[in-house]
Every structure is written in structure tokens, then in C-alpha cells.
Amino acid sequence: MKNVLIISSTPRVGGNSEVLCKQFAKGAQEAGHNVEMVNLRDYKLNYCIGCYACHKLGKCFQNDGMNELSEKMLNANVIVLATPVYYYCMSGQLKVFIDRLTPIYEQVKAEIYLIATMWDPDEKMMEPTIEAMRGLTRDCFEDCREMGIICASDVGGLGEINDKPDYLHLAYTMGKNC
């Protein structure tokens, strides 16, 4: 049994990326894993101010939602990062979260899945967003391996992903096989 942590960064309740996270969670639960899904919108997260106090303290000097989220990251065997595409990059919410991993990112040991949703039908326009997320997961995490990505294009309106059974199935299957 693995500890599966799903980090959803859409500010929209019922957002397309959130729906895919729930499908992943459903699959992973059915496979018998211990699954937790968190929405970054439910946490107060200040941005990193680049002071490097964490290098001396071993943790950030700021006391906010990141205390709880860091603990969850360190306990996870599987981590899913999900984002809506905002201006061909990840959401600001996810970027703030990633920057705040500075005190702990070297200790994260997990299998990684990436999920992104965008309005644009041209799949290759997803590349900058996935590459930006990989700036953390491939280039900075040390003991982690990317196991799967879902790039859902041509989904703009709230919940539009529910009309795309292929994406829903892909997310469910990835969760089931994680």
C-alpha cells in the first residue's frame, strides 16, 4: 500500500483538473492505496521571499499552510501535481507552493504524476507547462521518477472535462496502476 498525495491547484471548485484528480484518486483507492487529495485553495500560502532562512533553520520562518503540506509531501510515496494552464504555464497557486518546497525538496522520495488542463486544442501548447513543472520534479527532486502525465487539451469551461471520457478513463487507470 502506498501513500498517494494529490495536489490540486485549480481555484475553481469542480474544475477540470480537479475532476481528473478525483478520477486518479478513485483508481488509487480501488487499488488499495492510502489516498489523500488536497486543494491548494484551502490553504493560506505566502510566497517564498528568497531569504534562505530555511538553510539555517531547516524550515521556513513563515507559519502558514505550508507546515502541513510539507509534512504530507515527505510522507508520500506517490505525488500528483495538477494545474490548469494559465498563460501557457502552471497556475500561480501551484508555483507559490513549489517555491515554498525549498526547505524540503531534496528529501522528497516519490513517484510523480503530472496533470494539466487547458482550453487550447493544440496539444503541443501544453509543453511549456509540463516543462515548468519538471523544473521541480525532474531537475530538482533527487529520488523521484515521473511515471505518467495527462495533458488534457480542448477543455475550457467549468466541468467540460466530464464530456471527455478518454481523459477521465486515463486518470482513473493511472490511479489504479500507480
- CA neighbor of 117 nearest in space, from 9, 36, 37, 26: 9
Q: Pick between residue 62 and residue 129 the one whose CB is nearest to ligand FMN.
A: 129
Residues 6+ positions from 86 with CB-CB distance below 8 Å: 92
Q: Which of residues 21-60 bind ligand FMN (CB under 6 A)?
A: none
State how far the Cα of 78 lies from the Cα of 178, in Å rounded to an integer.
Answer: 8
Pick one of 6, 7, 15, 171: the residue that binds ligand FMN (CB under 6 A). 15
From the number of C-beta atoms within 10 Å of its C-beta (0-12, 13-18, 19+), residue 86 rates as: middle
Among 4, 10, 62, 150, binds ligand FMN (CB under 6 A): 10
Q: Decide: is 85 part of the binding site for ligand FMN (CB under 6 A).
A: yes
Residue among 20 and 108 whose Cβ is closer to ligand FMN: 20
The one segment of 30-38, 61-69, 112-120, 137-145 that binds ligand FMN by CB under 6 A = 112-120
Q: Which of 35, 155, 168, 178 binds ligand FMN (CB under 6 A)?
A: 155
Q: Is 88 in the site for ligand FMN (CB under 6 A)?
A: yes
- Cβ 31 vs Cβ 175: under 8 Å: yes
The separation between CA 70 and the C-alpha centre of its own chain, rounded to angstroms, equals: 13
Can you tell me which of 120, 128, 134, 144 binds ligand FMN, judged by CB under 6 A? 120
Residue given cell 515521473 in the structure block: 146
Distance of alpha carbon 160 from alpha carbon 72, whole angstroms: 30
Q: Which is nearer to ligand FMN, 62 or 91 (CB)?
A: 91
Regarding 154 and contact with ligand FMN (CB under 6 A), the answer is no
β-bridge partners, 4: 35, 78
Residues that bind ligand FMN (CB under 6 A): 10, 12, 15-18, 84-88, 117-120, 155-156, 158
